[in-house]
């Protein structure tokens, strides 16, 4: 059934296996999930990849500190990330782990391609390395903490001087090609500010990149020289094609889904995705992804999340405070596309109560309970529609046209604002039409009003699915909307709620956070 749909491939960054997931990881997974769900509902054959980056010095060091083998350590952390995908109802098609055998094979194959292309040579590396970032930095990027004398990367992480034999990738040879790529495909890096940042970084000159290490062995072995392991980023980035069967570029999955439509990543790792990754792919003669989308960071009460400040939030904490869909909504509604966001408990309660409990929840609750009480729990006919009825229905059917271009650009906050325009219009309509008053004067007209509202709610239920999949299905289940009629193509009169169907007594979808509100 899906074979004639346009393929769509989206990935998150794969998280380092050096600690439990935090809110930043959940945020990225949710952004990507919302886009994947949106595309599926819009008729695309979607493949969504997420996973775990398990190699490198940092993982090896953390495992050692914990007194376990790196593999055992990774197994434990991977399970926590897999659990997180369940906690947040993330609809990934695959969870890749870079310790998977096929991933080693794929990473070695891409290495071999770079080597065959004449882009790899052996030399000695002497320079600054941050184990925290698993990244090399130029002298000019390094600053010194005046108090401690510690040398720092531009991300504020500690760097150390490293000198060792290393293979190099001729990144400098790709400077012009990369600049041409950015110029000819301005959409390759989004948002625009990141496009500018990367362009000026590359214009500043690229040095060849050290791509192997010899001082530890937790990684993918370099082909024909096993005392070297690959630089963790070379192996990590390759996960995006391993998942599709690389090096078998003729496999069905590879042919169907590569090049990726979106790599969704945090703003701290765009250099790897927008400079190194396309250069590796060019060298290996593989098509380039269409876009790297960089999201911002989540801060807590205006401060960066950090273990030392003690404000790191476990994603499950928010779910137990507000509910899963409520947390998803909150993050997607309050953080602007590509910008940093802030989490604050009091503001979150106000937002959830206003938009979900009072806004959408109340609309569903009062409409459905009036239908149950006054119309025998049966959807009434929608005859003799007035201009007001028609206006609301038109808004419900056409909302997707405004929302689509926003969602397609990860502007979920603006897309949700549009959906809530419809919620407000429906709430205003109930107040103006006052079906409770019509009950005494004109029961036929009351039925029409309730039926128009129920049909609007059906559309709202369909529209909120990418962001709040569980709540949306509760709403659509109560309306008895068939499971195979919940896609965006069903947002029209042809699939409208049938007269005479019996609905279930409404069950509160978004309970008001009263206790939480008092505590706040
Ligand atoms: N392992 C690399 C990615 C390799 S992709 C081939 C890595 N891992 S990470 O665990 O440090 O980060 C995973 C993702 O979470 C990154 O996209 C990163 O930007 C994102 N975030 C980490 N902290 C974050 C916040 N506080 N807020 C939002 N996103 C954050 O980098």
Q: Whose CA is nearest to atom 16 of ligand 1?
A: 266
CB atoms within 10 A of CB 149: 7
pLDDT at 519: 58
pTM (2 d.p.): 0.95
pLDDT at 313: 87
pLDDT at 5: 87
Torsion, Cα of 71, 75, 76, 78 (10° steps): 130
Name the residue among 106, 97, 105 with its Cα closest to residue 51.
Answer: 97
pLDDT tens digits, 374-393: 999 999 999 999 999 999 99
Pocket test for ligand 1, best of 10, 11, 18, 24 (most atoms within 8 A of CB): 24
pLDDT at 266: 97
**Cis peptide before 191, with omega less than 30 degrees from 0?**
yes
pLDDT at 517: 57
Confidence class for position 1, pLDDT limits 50, 70, 90: very low
pLDDT tens digits, 45-96: 999 999 999 999 999 999 999 999 999 999 999 999 999 999 999 999 999 9
pLDDT tens digits, 183-197: 999 999 999 999 999
CB atoms within 10 A of CB 198: 22
Strand (E) or helix (H) holding 472: helix 469-478
pLDDT at 111: 98
**Which spans in 191-344 are helix H?**
192-203, 232-242, 252-257, 270-271, 277-283, 315-322, 324-334
Q: Whose CA is nearest to atom 10 of ligand 1?
A: 15
Q: How many CA atoms lie within 13 A of 14 on its CB side?
A: 30
- Give the residue, 156 or 491, on which the prediction is more confident: 491
Across residues 301-318, what is the average pLDDT?
85
Across residues 210-226, what is the average pLDDT?
96
Name the residue among 302, 303, 327 with its Cα closest to residue 314.
Answer: 327
Pocket test for ligand 1, best of 21, 28, 307 (most atoms within 8 A of CB): 28
The DSSP line for 417-429 is HHHHHHHHHHHHH
Across residues 147-160, what is the average pLDDT?
92
The DSSP line for 296-313 is --EEETTEE--TTTT---
Does position 100 have pLDDT exceeding 70, yes or no? yes
pLDDT at 39: 98
**Which spans in 42-154 are helix H?**
57-65, 70-87, 101-116
pLDDT at 42: 98
Atom of ligand 1 nearest to the CA of 25: 15
Question: How far, in Å, CA of 112 to CA of 93, rounded?
Answer: 29
CB atoms within 10 A of CB 379: 23
Contact between residue 270 and residue 197 where contact means Cβ atoms under 8 Å apart: yes
Name the residue among 333, 336, 335 with its Cα closest to residue 355.
Answer: 333
Residues contacting ligand 1 via CB (< 6 Å)? 13-16, 24-25, 27-28, 53, 236-237, 239, 265-266, 268-269, 297-298, 305
Q: Encode 29-49 in three state secondary structure.
A: HHHHHHHHHHHHHCCCEEEEE
Cβ contacts of residue 452 below 8 Å, gap of 6+? 382, 385, 389, 392, 393, 429
Separation of CA 232 from chain center: 23
pLDDT tens digits, 420-453: 999 999 999 999 999 999 999 999 999 999 999 9
Contact between residue 356 and residue 330 where contact means Cβ atoms under 8 Å apart: no
Torsion, Cα of 119, 122, 126, 128 (10° steps): 40
Across residues 501-514, what is the average pLDDT?
90
The DSSP line for 383-420 is -S--HHHHHHHHHHHHHHHHHHHHHTTT-HHHHHHHHH
pLDDT at 516: 59
Confidence class for position 3, pLDDT limits 50, 70, 90: low
Question: Distances from the Cα of 106 to the Cαs of 111, 209, 278, 383, 400, in angstroms?
Answer: 9, 20, 17, 62, 40
The pLDDT > 90 percentage for the chain reads 90
Q: How many CA atoms lie within 13 A of 43 on its CB side?
A: 9
Question: How far, in Å, CA of 385 to CA of 364, rounded?
Answer: 21
Atom of ligand 1 nearest to the CA of 299: 26
pLDDT tens digits, 464-478: 999 999 999 999 999
Provide the pairing of β-strand 7-12 with 262-266.
Answer: parallel
Separation of CA 452 from chain center: 34
21 Cα to the center of ligand 1, angstroms: 10
Does position 2 have pLDDT exceeding 60, yes or no? no
Question: How far, in Å, CA of 208 to CA of 202, rounded?
Answer: 12
Helix then strand then coil, in percent of the chain rounded to 5, is 50, 15, 30
């Amino acid at each position: 059934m899906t074979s004639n749909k346009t393929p769509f491939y989206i990935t998150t960054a794969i998280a380092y296996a050096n600690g439990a997931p935090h809110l930043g990881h959940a945020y990225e997974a949710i952004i990507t999930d919302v886009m994947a769900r949106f595309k599926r509902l819009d008729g695309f054959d979607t493949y969504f990849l997420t996973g775990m980056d398990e190699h490198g010095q940092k993982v090896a060091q953390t495992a050692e500190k914990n007194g376990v083998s790196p593999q055992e350590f990774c197994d434990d952390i991977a399970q926590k990330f897999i659990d997180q995908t369940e906690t947040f109802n993330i609809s990934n098609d695959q969870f890749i782990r870079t310790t998977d055998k096929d991933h080693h094979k794929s990473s070695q194959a891409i290495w071999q391609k770079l080597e065959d292309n004449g882009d790899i040579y052996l030399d000695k590396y002497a320079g600054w390395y941050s184990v925290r970032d698993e990244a090399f930095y130029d002298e000019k990027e390094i600053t010194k903490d005046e108090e401690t004398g510690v040398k720092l990367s531009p991300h504020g992480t500690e760097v150390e001087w490293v000198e060792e034999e290393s293979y190099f990738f001729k990144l400098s040879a790709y400077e012009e090609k990369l600049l041409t790529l950015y110029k000819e495909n301005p959409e390759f890096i989004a948002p625009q500010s990141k496009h500018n940042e990367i362009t000026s970084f590359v214009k500043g000159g690229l040095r060849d990149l050290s791509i192997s290490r010899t001082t530890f062995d937790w990684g993918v072995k370099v082909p024909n020289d096993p005392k070297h392991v690959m630089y963790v980023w070379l192996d990590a980035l390759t996960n995006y094609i391993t998942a599709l069967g690389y090096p078998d570029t003729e496999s069905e999955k590879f042919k169907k889904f590569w090049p990726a439509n979106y790599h969704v990543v945090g703003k701290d790792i765009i250099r790897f995705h927008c400079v190194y990754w396309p250069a590796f792919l060019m060298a290996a003669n593989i098509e380039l992804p269409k876009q790297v989308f960089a999201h911002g960071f989540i801060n807590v009460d205006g401060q960066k999340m950090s273990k030392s400040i003690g404000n790191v939030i476990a994603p499950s904490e928010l779910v137990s405070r507000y509910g899963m869909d409520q947390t998803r909504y909150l993050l997607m509604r309050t953080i602007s596309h590509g910008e940093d966001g802030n989490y604050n408990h009091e503001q979150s309660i106000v937002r959830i109560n206003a938009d979900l409990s009072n806004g959408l929840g109340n609309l569903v609750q009062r409409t459905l309970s009036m239908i149950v009480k006054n119309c025998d729990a049966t959807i009434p006919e929608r005859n003799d529609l007035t201009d007001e009825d028609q206006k609301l229905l038109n808004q419900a059917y056409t909302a997707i046209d405004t929302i689509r271009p926003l969602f397609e650009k990860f502007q979920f906050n603006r897309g949700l604002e549009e959906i809530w325009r419809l919620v407000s219009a429906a709430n205003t309509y109930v107040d103006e039409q006052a079906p409770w008053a019509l009950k005494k004067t004109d029961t036929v007209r009351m039925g029409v009003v309730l039926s128009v509202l129920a049909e609007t709610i059906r559309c709202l239920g369909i529209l909120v699915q990418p962001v709040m999949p569980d709540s949306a299905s509760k709403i659509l289940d109560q309306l008895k909307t068939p499971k195979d009629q919940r896609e965006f193509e069903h947002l029209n009169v042809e699939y409208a709620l049938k007269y005479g169907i019996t609905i279930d007594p409404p069950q509160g979808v978004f309970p008001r956070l009263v206790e939480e509100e008092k505590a706040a």
